[in-house]
Amino acid sequence: MARIDDLTDKVDSRFHLVHLAAKRAREINGYYAQLGEGLGAFVPPLLTTDSNKPLSVALEEIAQRKVEGVFPSETGAAADPLSFIEGGDEPA
């Protein structure tokens, strides 16, 4: 298991680490939940580990740089907050 000090070197802040790990743990948990349904909507764990806990797997993925957070560009968000929606620049 990776130490917190080592993990904070991989991201820019502890808040970002917590957010990234929680989000990835939810994805891993969703993957295991939908296995019997065959939907394939979630990404499986990116490494093999002894732990079967989603949060531990997520932290190991972050430690090995298999998962990295991506920040949205600040210029795009300031220019048009609805730019992620296709046709968001048209008034409703």
Please write the tens of the pLDDT for every residue from 39-81: 777 888 888 888 889 999 999 999 898 888 776 665 554 555 5
Rg (CA), the chain: 17
The whole-number pLDDT of residue 54 equals 92
Question: What was the pLDDT predicted at 74?
Answer: 57
10 vs 74: CA distance, rounded Å: 22
Taking residue 61's Cβ as centre, other Cβ atoms within 10 Å add up to 22
Q: Which residue has the higher pLDDT, 69 or 32?
A: 32
**pLDDT tier for residue 85 given thresholds of 50, 70 and 90:** low
- Parse the chain into domains and list their residue ranges: 4-79
From the list 27, 60, 64, 61, the residue with the least C-alpha distance to 44 is 27
Phi, psi angle pair for 18, to nearest 5°: -65, -45
On the question of pLDDT at 92 being above 50, the answer is no
Q: Which amino acid is at 37?
A: E
pTM of the shown model: 0.68
CATH topology of domain 4-79: Eukaryotic RPB6 RNA polymerase subunit (3.90.940)
